[in-house]
Amino acid sequence: MSAASMRRAARESVSGLPREFWWLWTSTLVNRLGSFVATFLALYLTLERGYSASYAGLVAALHGLGGVVSSIGAGVMTDRLGRRPTLLIAQTSTAASVAVLGFMQHPVAIAGVAFVVGMASNASRPAVQAMMADIVAPEDRVRAFALNYWAINLGFAFSSLAAGLIAEHSYLIGFLGEAAMTLACAILVFRKIPESRPTPAPGTAGTAEAEVGMGTVLRDRRFMGVVGLSFLISLLFMQSSVSLPVAMGADGFSSGDFGMAIAVNGVLIVALQIPVTRFIEHRDPQRLLVISALLAGYGFGLTAFAGSIAVYMLTVCVWTLAEIINSPTQMGLVARLSPTHGRGRYQGVYTLSWSAAALVAPLAGGAVIDHYGADVLWAGCAAIGTIAAAGYWLLMRNLPTEGSAGPAAATTPATARDLPPEGSAGPAAATTPATARDLPPEGSTGPAAATTSAAAPEGEPTAAA
């Protein structure tokens, strides 16, 4: 590919997205550049503070449990208070709790504050994902989610290197640095990002359009099926940081060997996320999710045959490709299935699938390795990937195709979600302000659907908020 072609492809990848998205993207990048606690908490507790590995595991589990607890509450806040207030509360709380964690001495205090950090950092995810669905036209959402995911991994790659150097001198500087970067995200949100929560149309108070509660989400069988499948896929990806290093260590490989193998994941995501998304963004999500589930399952399954660093790196390539395909496609599907006025609750329940997997995966992976061996775990991963692929195929058989006409999908109850297609024709969807983004039908397209300025970025403070 020539330099001109590469420049044109890059320009097309980022063009047409609204200004508010780019500010959100920027906040994601800044947030992930400051990531420290999630990466170095275990090393801080064992090396710096001298606690046992069991205690470090307990604190990590409490951190994950905090994320599980906050997923639902943050989703409700996103719908009731708004996306912007929820983001501000989550990010300021994260900044304060991370700073406090750096000064804690007593083991009970450390565990308690770590739980609070997990709650606060995870609380921003439903708000960011709902805001993205609000401000980006339906036909551009897969691309937008992919760009945001790319920023997460780019920021994490740089922060891991920087945090490693910082930790050699002072872990406290790392805690305070993450607090400062997270506070900077909150200031960016406050100054640059407007509220995007859609308001019910006049006369709809008390109707299905306005009344979207947790019961609505839990009764939405197709959506809850997606959440369940997301949990299975998350269990697979979590093995990369939980079981893979343990298995490699048992086979005689060093921590440096593991670092080399896992680095392939970040490098491939940064290098391939945007071009792969350009290839898949308008393709059948059912087929993409089936393929990604099989790649994830058998990518980890192939680890049973790894006997050298090169083969380990090859297996990482396989499941990383699954990650690149699955993440934006699944997030786009979640936004597509979520009613406009319930996006926060829907995103909160979806976030719960990842938080729950982060809690279950270390326990399940360790138990299987201890009792049955790593080969059984990798075979189980292949089985889970196959089950998830079959689940996606069955769940999405009657998903409406993009481009078919229908009433506004976003304002109907969740049980009627299948009636309107995401790409139904209509007036320009993305030329209105963010606060009015949802007045046209959710799937409306038109000649001006993506002509909003792409002048600046915005983002998703996920687990590191």
Q: What is the pLDDT of residue 336?
A: 87
Q: What is the pLDDT of residue 199?
A: 73
pLDDT tier for residue 461 given thresholds of 50, 70 and 90: very low
DSSP string, 110-161: HHHHHHHHHHHHHTHHHHHHHHHHHHS-GGGHHHHHHHHHHHHHHHHHHHHH
Distance separating alpha carbons of residues 22 and 19, to the nearest angstrom: 5
Q: Phi/psi at 201 (nearest 5 deg)?
A: -60, 150
Q: Which residue has the higher pLDDT, 123 or 205?
A: 123
Judged against a pLDDT cut of 60, whether residue 167 lies above it is answered with: yes
Q: What is the pLDDT of residue 391?
A: 95
CB neighbours of 140 closer than 8 A, spacing ≥ 6?
16, 17, 430, 449, 450
List of E strands, 238-374: none
pLDDT tier for residue 459 given thresholds of 50, 70 and 90: very low
Q: What is the pLDDT of residue 148?
A: 85
Q: What is the pLDDT of residue 203?
A: 53
Q: What is the pLDDT of residue 265?
A: 86
- Residue type, position 10, single letter: A
Q: What is the pLDDT of residue 198?
A: 78
Q: What is the pLDDT of residue 107?
A: 92
Per-residue pLDDT of 279-290, as tens digits, reads 887 788 889 999
- Residue type, position 247, single letter: A
Task: Pick the range with the lowest mean pLDDT from 32-36, 55-59, 300-304.
Answer: 32-36
Q: Which whole number is the average pLDDT over 304-317?
A: 93
Nearest by Cα to 102 from 41, 44, 166, 175: 175
Per-residue pLDDT of 212-254, as tens digits, reads 778 888 888 999 999 999 999 999 998 887 788 888 888 888 8
Highest mean pLDDT among 55-64, 206-215, 436-445: 55-64
Q: What is the pLDDT of residue 2?
A: 58
Q: Which conformational region is residue 16 in: left (phi greater than 0), alpha (psi within -120 to 50 degrees), or beta?
A: left
pLDDT tier for residue 202 given thresholds of 50, 70 and 90: low
Q: What is the pLDDT of residue 237?
A: 93
Asked if 102 and 176 count as a contact pair (C-beta separation under 8 A), the reply is yes
Per-residue pLDDT of 333-384, as tens digits, reads 888 888 888 888 898 899 889 888 888 887 788 888 888 988 999 999 999 9
Nearest by Cα to 353 from 64, 148, 154, 14: 64
Q: What is the Cα gyration radius of the chain?
A: 21
Q: Which whole number is the average pLDDT over 26-38?
A: 79
Mean pLDDT of the chain: 78
Q: What is the pLDDT of residue 212?
A: 73
Q: What is the pLDDT of residue 371?
A: 87
